[in-house]
Structure 1
Amino acid sequence: MAHIDYYFSFLSAWIYLADGRLEKIAEKHGATVSYKPFDLMTAFDRLGVPRPANRGEGRKVYRMQELKRLKAKTGLPMNVEPPFWPTNVAPAAYAVIAAQNAGGGDMGTLVNGLSAAMWRDDKDIAQDEVITEALKTAGFDPMLSMTGMLEGAETYPRNLEEGLAAGVFGSPFYIVKETDERFWGRDRLDMLDEHLATL
């Protein structure tokens, strides 16, 4: 059985635009997934990559055009300029980590739900009420947003270090553990699907 390490940040619109395809691909191939939220902005700093606000104007224009094109192509409801972006995504990341450790719910629903809260529903996922609602919808104990803060705070920076050591440089980033095959971006999910079919 294949295993996928999924490194992501809720600040990335591309995880929302992936629209749950990772979970469908994993189910198709009987693969398991470890969800590893990490601090994308700190990763950029460590890698010497400018943060989005500091990138050249051409890059900023291209990013916005690409988001609008993908919104139209996928048909997903989306605000390409959400009012709470960027926000402090650490509390949501902590809740994801705690939920994964606790079990009992659907991780894909949780992660995709929090992403949709930001990119579709104009909600601030730093707020406890938004996080607890996402936990509840995904079948987890909503109190994990509080009780899981310590384990989340310990694991979140560890995910960053593990990701950088594994070659992660963006979000979403998928690594197949058995082969160390790496896939960056939602537009590489078809290739991930094809790779898993060979295992």
Structure 2
Amino acid sequence: MKTCLYYFAPHSPWAYLGHERFVALCRKHGVQIDLRPLDLGKVFNASGGLPLAKRPPQRQAYRLVELARWSAFLGMPLNVQPKFFPVSPDAAAKLIIAARLSHGLDVALNLAQAIMRGLWAEEKNIADEATLIGCANDLELDGAQLLKSAPTASVQAEYDRNTEAGTAANVFGSPWYILDGESFWGQDRLDFLERAMRAG
């Protein structure tokens, strides 16, 4: 079975827009997902990227247009300027890693989607502990217990490894998919990724 590396940050609207489609594609084509939440701020520092607030006004404005356009095209609810953004993604990323370590890949994928939907469609603060506990509880997990395991050394080590591996693989955005050594940046490249899955 082939494996697709899936680098993403849980505060990325593009990861939110692509997440469910990516998971469905992998299941359709029998591709295993290697889930790798990473620290996008460190990736930006290494690759010359800029956080949103530091980008030129025209780039910020066009980003809003594209988000609205993709939201309408995909039929996915999305607030292009949510109440709790910018937001630190670290606690959410570590919770997703903790979920994978303790409950497996499918649970972690579902939690990632719930967290991203919470930020981009439900006006939730994904840096807030109670919000993260609620997202986990909604999936019938023990959110409080899971949150306790999120700051552990093993979770932090995996978060760091993901970030270092992504940087070494020339990742510079979210979401980022790597299949058979070939990179695909962004949810708008999922058609190309599926072609690669079929070709394999």
**Bigger helix share:** 2
1:99 corresponds to: 99
2:150 corresponds to: 148
Distance 1:148 1:110 in 2: 13
Structure 2 matches for 1:50-129, cutoff 5 A?
A: 50-104=50-104, 106-129=107-130
- Asked if 1:159 is matched to 2:162, the reply is yes
Distance 1:44 1:13 in 2: 16
Cα offset for 1:129?
1.9
After TM superposition, the structure 1 stretch with the greater mean CA deviation from structure 2, 183-192 or 136-145, is 136-145
Cα offset for 1:195?
0.8
Corresponding residue SS for 2:82:
coil
Contact 1:107 1:138 in 2 (8 A): no
Deviations 1:64-100 (A, max 9, x none): 1111111221221111101111111111111111111
Cα offset for 1:180?
0.4
Superposition RMSD on alpha carbons, in Å? 1.5
**Normalising to structure 2: TM-score of the pair?**
0.92
1:13 corresponds to: 13
Give the partner amino acid of 1:147: S
Corresponding residue SS for 2:184:
strand
Aligned length: 197
Cα offset for 1:133?
2.3
Contact 2:15 2:174 in 1 (8 A): yes
Contact 2:78 2:121 in 1 (8 A): yes
Corresponding residue SS for 2:177:
strand
Corresponding residue SS for 1:183:
strand
Deviations 1:40-62 (A, max 9, x none): 12211221222211111111111
Contact 1:94 1:152 in 2 (8 A): yes
Contact 1:87 1:126 in 2 (8 A): yes
Alignment gaps of 5+ in structure 1: none
2:172 corresponds to: 169
Cα offset for 1:168?
0.7
Corresponding residue SS for 1:87:
coil
Distance 2:93 2:116 in 1: 11
2:30 corresponds to: 30
After TM superposition, the structure 1 stretch with the greater mean CA deviation from structure 2, 44-53 or 94-103, is 44-53
